[in-house]
Amino acid sequence: MKKKLPDELELARDLLDKQVVDRDETKMGRVDGLVLELREGKPPRVDHLEMGSAVLARCIHPRVESWVDALRRRIGVQKTGRYRVPWAAVQEIVPYQVKLDVKAAETPAFAWEHWLRDHVIAHIPRGLKGKAN
Binding site for other proteins (CB under 8 A): 3, 5, 7-13, 16, 32-38, 42-47, 55, 58-59, 87-88
Q: Which is nearer to other proteins, 16 or 64 (CB)?
A: 16
Q: Which is nearer to other proteins, 44 or 75 (CB)?
A: 44
Euclidean distance between CA atoms 42 and 108, whole angstroms: 33
Euclidean distance between CA atoms 15 and 91, whole angstroms: 13
Euclidean distance between CA atoms 118 and 21, whole angstroms: 24
- In this structure, are residues 50 and 36 in contact, taking their beta carbons and an 8 Å threshold? no
In angstroms, give the least distance from the CB of 7 to other proteins. Answer: 6
Task: Report which DSSP code applies to 88.
Answer: G
Q: Which is nearer to other proteins, 92 or 110 (CB)?
A: 92
In angstroms, give the least distance from the CB of 61 to other proteins. Answer: 11
